[in-house]
Amino acid sequence: MVSAQNTPTRLAPYLPVLLALSAGGFLVVYKAILHWVCPLILLSTVMGGTALLIGGYILCFQGIRRLKVRKRFYGRLLLLGLCATILNSSMIWAVEMSEASQVSLLLRSDIIFSSLIGFLFFRERISRPGLSGLLLMSAGALLVLRMLPWQLQVPSNGDMLAVLAGFLLSTNAIIIKYGLAEVPDEVIVFYNSGLVTIFSFVIVIFSGSLESYIPLKSPLLVGLIGLAILLSSSMFLLYYKSLALHPVWLVRAFLLLSPFVTMVLSGWILNESVVWSQWVGGALLAAGGTVLLRDVTGKPAVAIREKRH
């Protein structure tokens, strides 16, 4: 797999866009599978499949020594896995306790957290064109989600969990970018997905969700889970490579495109209705993304992380 260090310069600015497309497709498949499978069980299944797929690739093409990391990274990998498990569990419980549209909006607080943490501790700055693009994309995302700030309801426990998940999303990205700078992307994917599998399965057992397990007898369900694993693996790799080359806030900003991708694919595949205001939101997202791309392509694409080979 290509590391961030030798990613082609011309391709580097477009990695966040590819990430958003991959994430949007993953969400559609994930949503379809939820008709059969409990969310926590699905999380542990997809993460376990991702770990096996990436681990198998590493063993076949790079050797088992590739999985060896220095002891000083053990704690950071463990923290990354814990953060990922808690944020995914928080999102699941938040949707159960609050309105899904409100949770989707509050999850976007991750961009605010990423910008603040990057600015205060890592000297990440948002240029004026970048800020303009971010505002356009934020407005577009609100329209796509069919949720406006003044429509927010009285905060509930679910909303607090959504904000916590937003904070953990930004923390997760900071750990990957600055705490695991010397660890190869695919190795981070392997350990992160593996730890999430273990932690989420423990939650499944203690929450009693294991009773809702459905045997994989349907070929369609098996195929969808396999597709989710493939999309999950590509999404993780694109995410880590994007973080290596760009500021955290920028990568999180481009992920605002994923709800629009999900909307289009859901309308096409799942026959979900799409209103005109969502298409307007998509146009704003495209305009904001174009502004960000022009800003990014006008700067040298230099890997911030130096990967170990």
**Res. 305: pLDDT tops 60:** no
Lowest mean pLDDT among 138-142, 182-186, 243-247, 298-302: 298-302
Residue 308 falls within a domain, yes or no?
no
* H-helix or E-strand spanning residue 35: none
Cα separation of 178 and 13, whole Å? 20
* H-helix or E-strand spanning residue 184: none
**pLDDT number for residue 219:** 84
Higher pLDDT, 131 or 159: 131
Q: Is 66 helix (H, G, I), strand (E, B) or coil?
A: helix
Cα separation of 240 and 173, whole Å? 8
Q: In the structure encoding, which two tokens stand for residue 82, read together?
A: 């814990």
Residue 57 falls within a domain, yes or no?
yes
**pLDDT number for residue 127:** 83
**pLDDT number for residue 206:** 83
**Res. 309: pLDDT tops 50:** no
Cα separation of 40 and 95, whole Å? 13
Q: pLDDT-based confidence at 34, cuts 50/70/90?
A: confident
Residue 168 falls within a domain, yes or no?
yes
**Res. 36: pLDDT tops 90:** no
DSSP 8-state class, residue 6: G
Q: pLDDT-based confidence at 8, cuts 50/70/90?
A: low
Mean pLDDT over the full length of the chain: 82
pLDDT tens track for 251-301: 988 888 888 888 888 788 777 778 888 889 889 988 988 888 888 776 554
**pLDDT number for residue 78:** 96
Tally of CB atoms within 10 A around 213: 12
Number of domains in the chain: 1
Contacts of 139 (CB under 8 A, 6+ apart): 281, 284, 288
Domain range for 178? 4-297
**pLDDT number for residue 308:** 46
pLDDT tens track for 72-131: 999 999 999 999 999 888 887 776 676 655 666 677 788 888 888 888 888 888 888 888
Residue 136 falls within a domain, yes or no?
yes
**Mean pLDDT value across residues 148-158:** 58
Q: What is this structure's pTM?
A: 0.83
Cα separation of 113 and 132, whole Å? 18
**pLDDT number for residue 152:** 54
**Res. 139: pLDDT tops 50:** yes
**Mean pLDDT value across residues 232-246:** 91
**pLDDT number for residue 228:** 92
Contacts of 182 (CB under 8 A, 6+ apart): 70, 73, 305, 306, 307, 308
How distant, in Å, are the alpha carbons of 76, 90, 98, 100, 183 from that of 154? 36, 19, 10, 14, 43
**pLDDT number for residue 149:** 58
**pLDDT number for residue 7:** 54
**Res. 147: pLDDT tops 70:** no
Nearest to 15 by CA among 240, 180, 300, 232: 240
Q: In the structure encoding, which two tokens stand for residue 124, read together?
A: 């990440």
Residue 302 falls within a domain, yes or no?
no
Q: In the structure encoding, which two tokens stand for residue 2, read together?
A: 């290509």
Residue 307 falls within a domain, yes or no?
no
Contacts of 171 (CB under 8 A, 6+ apart): 83, 113, 117
**pLDDT number for residue 298:** 63
Which residue's structure tokens are 């130096």? 306
Contacts of 304 (CB under 8 A, 6+ apart): 177, 181, 244, 245
Residue 99 falls within a domain, yes or no?
yes
pLDDT tens track for 222-237: 899 999 999 999 999 9
**pLDDT number for residue 294:** 83
Q: Are 207 and 96 in contact (CB under 8 A)?
A: no
Residue 133 falls within a domain, yes or no?
yes
Cα separation of 247 and 236, whole Å? 17
**Res. 156: pLDDT tops 70:** no
**Mean pLDDT value across residues 189-214:** 83
